[in-house]
Amino acid sequence: MIHQRDPFARFKRALAGSANRFGLSLQHIVFTDRPWSSATFTGHRLSGTLTVEGAAIDGWLAALPEEELAVSGLIVADIVASHCHRGADGDGIVLEALLLEA
């Protein structure tokens, strides 16, 4: 069970919702988290991979940096995604995101 207070679970749900709007399905999402801070903000740098199924992958990847991902308690300050491979089980995507604590 995913705990509602888990910010990374909320981010994954927002990411899945974004993909769904493009007719895509996220099958496998794995992230590593590294604390991040600047003089004025604290947050998390996420790096990970995911498997995506669907035909509109290139359109989603192009739109993702401008997508407004609603994640309660966090601001998605930066997100970059790119293809890493095409496979029988879907396309592999490499994703980096900077999440700031709101």
Q: Which of 1, 6, 67, 13 minimizes the C-alpha distance to 33?
A: 6
What are the pLDDT digits (tens) for 3-38?
A: 446 778 899 999 999 999 999 999 888 999 999 999
What are the pLDDT digits (tens) for 78-102?
A: 999 988 788 877 889 999 999 999 8
Predicted pLDDT at 5:
61
Q: Quick check: is 2 in a domain? A: no
CB atoms within 10 A of CB 55: 9
Whether the predicted pLDDT of 59 surpasses 80: yes
Domain hosting 42: range is 7-101
Average pLDDT of span 47-76: 92
Number of domains in the chain: 1
What CATH number does the domain containing 97 carry?
Answer: 3.30.2000.30
